Structure 1
Amino acid sequence: MPLQSLARHRRTAAVVTAAALLLALSACASGSATSTSASVPATASSGLPSSHVHGLSVNAETGQILLATHEGLFDISTNTAVKIGATNDLMGFTPTMEEGVFYASGHPGQGSSLPSPLGLIKTTDGGRTWDQLSRQGESDFHALTMTKSGIVGHDGTMRTSADGKNWKTVPVGFAPAVLAGNPYSETVLATTREGVQRSVDGGNTWTLNSAAPLIQFAAFASATDAVGIAPDGAVYISPDAGATWKNTGRIEGGAQALAASEGSEGSPWIWAATPDGLVVSTDGGATFRPADAA
């Protein structure tokens, strides 16, 4: 199925969130910057425009698929990756409930006029231009997500913000690799070396879920359905926003980024950027295939 036709097979038209940073377990005044879009050949090794993918977003209504990478933001909805906007290393990236509206953080790249680090930046035109909201020159949010009440980010310190400009510091004893939230819920998941930390109040308080598997990447398919991928590629789904988890399959070759959306009969659709390209599962992680063959 062509990627543009994904919307006809979804029950929901919500923009899907995707938390997608490389795991620390194993790895490692307003202004705007503008640039024209350009087509970029996909890399021969993986079919993706960059070997460093930090974020993945899928719009279930339009079928648009975006990659936030070391080399900038790319639309990979078709076989040709299209670069959007200036070259910024988008370490943190999260969509919102509004089409074309995203928050990001990271570092400016060649040709970008934004400060370093980026702080929190926002686009309302799908990534073509970015407005500087707060903490420019101060914060590089490697982990970033949206909740019903606002933004949760980690730049070495956990912070929450209702408006993207004023921040509250949240003392925590862990460093999240990934923050996964949903604009329709207050629940946030944080993947850590110790396990999955869970917040049910928009990131203000946290509890370690000692019964959860060790998860490397996490994403919400809806306000309650969550997906996780372990370091060994095992795929887990949770029907209760990360409280309990069930192993449903395995993804080969490892993942760099993860996204999910509602599916039929309780099985979410799962997208993953892998070293071999973008893959998708339509059966809750039991099987994966190249996304352009979906």
Structure 2
Amino acid sequence: MLPLSRPWRVTRSAGAAVVVLFLASCSAAVPQEAPSEHSADGHSYPAGHIHGMSVDPGTNRVLLATHDGLFDVSASPVVQIGPTIDLMGFTQAANGDFYASGHPGPGSDLPDPVGLIRSTDGGKTWEPLSRQGESDFHALAASASAVVGFEGELLVSADGTEWEPATADFQPYHLAGASRDNTVLATTEDGLQRSTDDGATWSAVPDAPLLMLTALSEGQAAGITPDGRIFTSEDAGLTWTEQGTVPGEAAAIDAQVLDDSTLRIWVATADSVQVSNDNGRTFTNIRSSHQ
């Protein structure tokens, strides 16, 4: 099981308050049984904690994995997809499959914790893959050839069923994988870690900013600090350039390389999803944007 959380404290600039982040486990969710897709009752935006994000690059459909399940927040009204599961860890593979972990609700057939589960239909249904009743992966990433998860230690699996420990001596806050190659990034309290072999071995990235969340796309990367500053990388996380600042406290991030090699960046906060089409220099609420 996940060890007791350690606070991650980073001081903001010029008199601002200290940002405190926790690798905290969530309590079990409400019952899993639910229609495969329905409007979020009374909510224009998910009220539960946000643990992950997936954006369809073809349609710009934005899905948020939360304490209360998976939500399409680009729909109006917001739509819940699939059962109510506390999706603690969440990631998307190159073929479109979703991988997740977390806790079921009362009445669910899944054990607690759910271990690693997979959806091949966009989150409408989930199938158990491994470590049911054993693991609650708080961080997950999918690279081209593996699934990487953190549950007390870093573990790597080629297909989500059999796991091997990674060569790593750190505890990640967030993991991000490159779906078309073997790069994986891990944010930690002590700095950014990078793997080029699907998470099997790792090395620290010298001079990287202290990032909280990262995303990889087509050899580029985006990252956000605890105080909301956006950084981008043209070499998959080796070197970084500061861009702008996102409004609100970030909970999840995704990125997509556009045809002109510019990064489109989405950042989910507690009350909105912000999108940037200029490498993170400026952001607009997706409700008022017209991409």
Normalized against structure 1, the TM-score is what? 0.85
1: CA distance, partners of 2:261 / 2:216: 13
The match for 2:269 among 263, 266, 274 is: 274
Residue 129 (structure 1) aligns with: 125
Moved more, 34-43 or 274-283: 34-43
* Aligned partners of 2:146 and 2:158 also within 8 Å: yes
Residue 103 (structure 1) aligns with: 99
Deviation string 1:223-282 (CA, Å, 9 cap, x unpaired) is x11000001111000000100000011112220111111124332001111123111001
Q: Output aligned runs, 1:47-66, within 5 Å.
A: 47-66=44-63
CA apart distance, 1:171 = 3.8
* Aligned partners of 2:69 and 2:83 also within 8 Å: yes
2: CA distance, partners of 1:143 / 1:112: 23
1: CA distance, partners of 2:95 / 2:6: 28
2: CA distance, partners of 1:145 / 1:196: 15
Identity %: 46
Residue 159 (structure 1) aligns with: 155
Moved more, 62-71 or 211-220: 62-71
Deviation string 1:63-117 (CA, Å, 9 cap, x unpaired) is 2211100001111221211111111100111111223x21100111244321111
| Distance 1:120-1:163 versus aligned 2 partners, 3 A rule | same
Give the letter for the 1:126 counterpart.
G
Residue 35 (structure 1) aligns with: 34
Q: Output aligned runs, 1:63-74, within 5 Å.
A: 63-74=60-71
Q: Output aligned runs, 1:1-294, within 5 Å.
A: 25=8, 26-27=21-22, 28=24, 35-36=34-35, 37-41=37-41, 43=43, 47-99=44-96, 101-222=97-218, 224-294=219-289
* Aligned partners of 2:48 and 2:68 also within 8 Å: no
Higher relative contact order at CA 8 Å, sep ≥6: structure 1 or structure 2?
A: 1
2: CA distance, partners of 1:242 / 1:72: 30
Normalized against structure 2, the TM-score is what? 0.86
Structure 2, gaps ≥5 residues long = 9-20, 25-31
CA apart distance, 1:34 = 5.9
* Aligned partners of 1:42 and 1:48 also within 8 Å: no
| Distance 1:23-1:38 versus aligned 2 partners, 3 A rule | farther
CA apart distance, 1:157 = 1.1
* Aligned partners of 1:87 and 1:111 also within 8 Å: no
Give the letter for the 2:288 counterpart.
A
2: CA distance, partners of 1:131 / 1:116: 14
| Distance 1:276-1:130 versus aligned 2 partners, 3 A rule | closer
- State the aligned residue count: 264
| Distance 1:94-1:51 versus aligned 2 partners, 3 A rule | same
SS in 2 for 1:235: strand
SS in 2 for 1:215: coil
CA apart distance, 1:221 = 2.5
* Aligned partners of 2:94 and 2:144 also within 8 Å: no
* Aligned partners of 1:133 and 1:164 also within 8 Å: yes
* Aligned partners of 1:260 and 1:268 also within 8 Å: yes
* Aligned partners of 1:217 and 1:258 also within 8 Å: yes
Structure 1, gaps ≥5 residues long = 1-21
Give the letter for the 1:35 counterpart.
A
